[in-house]
Amino acid sequence: MESSSCFSLREPLSAYLERNDYVSSSALRRFSRSGTAATAVNSLPVPKEATLGDALHALLLEPERFDDDYFGVDPSRTAPATPDALLGRTWLSADHCTALQAMRDSILAHRMLPLREWFERGDKELSIYWTDAEGGRWKGRPDCFCSEVVLELKTTVDVRPNAFAKARRRFGYDLQAVHYLEGIARLIGRTPRFLYVAVESVRPHTVWVHEPSRDELRNAREHLEGLKARFRQQRDAEAAQA
């Protein structure tokens, strides 16, 4: 799907992360801490041990990638035929496999909203690239979206509103939300609802869907626009000094 100022790509996450001619919300948050545009854009995430959250994203959104990247004691999944096929994969314990299946099942069994339907028919892990009126080049990779809704999957130890609100502020989730909404609106011509699908990583793996209010999204959008303006100014200043 492509236009003169916005296009999308089916590509591996590694290709998305390595492309630094477009700027992500994560890079903008790094810039807000460092004050250096080049460092923020060119710094790839530090490799870390895969978490249950990473594995859940793969299991729910990209099951084929889960089979390629993970291996665990799970009789419901077929083990690779040779030991060599296991090299480079993340090994999961039986307890982790059980927890992952329970988290996925809790999300898909949610009754208040049609999460299963949205996850099944939505575009998952689609890279979106766009250029704004000021010439800024941006990118985003929402977990899942369709014409009605954007779903952002989050794992946490406490899904209750007050606890999750702290996580939203701490990790800049709402900045990411409005950044994604801008890219999606440019791509499909409308702005869907935005929902955080929060699931507890501990039993009973309770699911709670949080929807930012209009005021929260407006405040985040104003913050993001100011951050983008400062980023462009700093990038231009660094280019002039180069």
Q: How many structural domains is the chain composed of?
A: 1
Average pLDDT of the chain, as a whole number:
91
Dihedral-angle region of residue 24 (phi above 0 means left; psi in -120 to 50 means alpha; beta otherwise): beta
What was the pLDDT predicted at 91? 87
Most confident of 40-44, 51-55, 225-229: 225-229
Does some domain include residue 78?
no
pLDDT at 80 over 60: no
Does some domain include residue 217?
yes
What was the pLDDT predicted at 78? 55
Residue bearing tokens 């890279």? 127
Does some domain include residue 194?
yes
DSSP structure string for 140-156 = E--SEE-SSEEEEEEEE
pLDDT at 180 over 80: yes
Of 70-74, 120-124, 201-205, minimum mean pLDDT range? 70-74
pLDDT at 184 over 60: yes
Does some domain include residue 60?
no
Task: State the Cα–Cα distance between residues 211 and 89, nearest whole angstrom.
Answer: 35
The CATH number given to whatever domain includes residue 209 is 3.90.320.10
Task: Give residue 89's pLDDT band: very low, low, confident or very high (50, 70, 90).
Answer: confident
How much is the average pLDDT of 127-143? 96
Does some domain include residue 105?
no
Phi/psi at 198 (5° precision): -95, 130
What was the pLDDT predicted at 77? 58
Q: 199-241, pLDDT tens digit by residue?
A: 999 999 999 999 999 999 999 999 999 999 999 999 999 999 8
Cβ-count burial 8-39 (b if 16+ within 10 Å, e if not): beeeeeeebeeeeebbbbbbbbbbbeeeebee
What value, to the nearest 5°, has the Cα angle with vertex 170 and ends 218 and 238? Answer: 75
Does some domain include residue 190?
yes
How much is the average pLDDT of 64-74? 82
| Chain-centroid distance, C-alpha 100 | 18
Instruction: For residue 75, count other CB atoms closer than 10 A to its CB.
Output: 8
Q: Quick one: what percent of the chain has pLDDT higher than 90?
A: 78
What was the pLDDT predicted at 51? 83
Task: Give residue 1's pLDDT band: very low, low, confident or very high (50, 70, 90).
Answer: very low
Instruction: For residue 56, count other CB atoms closer than 10 A to its CB.
Output: 22
Higher pLDDT: 24 or 83? It is 24
CA distances from 16 to 9, 85, 140, 187, 192 (A): 9, 25, 9, 17, 23
What was the pLDDT predicted at 236? 92
Task: State the Cα–Cα distance between residues 106 and 89, nearest whole angstrom.
Answer: 26
The helix (H) or strand (E) run that includes residue 127 is: strand 127-131
Of 42-46, 104-108, 199-203, minimum mean pLDDT range? 42-46
Cis ω for the linkage preceding 212 (within 30 of 0): no
Task: Give residue 48's pLDDT band: very low, low, confident or very high (50, 70, 90).
Answer: low
Higher pLDDT: 158 or 92? It is 158
- Cβ–Cβ < 8 Å for 187, 8: yes
Nearest residue to 120 via CA among 102, 129, 108:
108
What was the pLDDT predicted at 46? 55
Burial of 239 (0-12, 13-18, 19+ CB in 10 A): exposed
Does some domain include residue 26?
yes
Does some domain include residue 95?
no
User: What angle in degrees, to the nearest 10, is found between the helix axes of 214-241 and 25-34?
Assistant: 70
Residue span of the structural domain in which 211 resides:
6-48+110-241
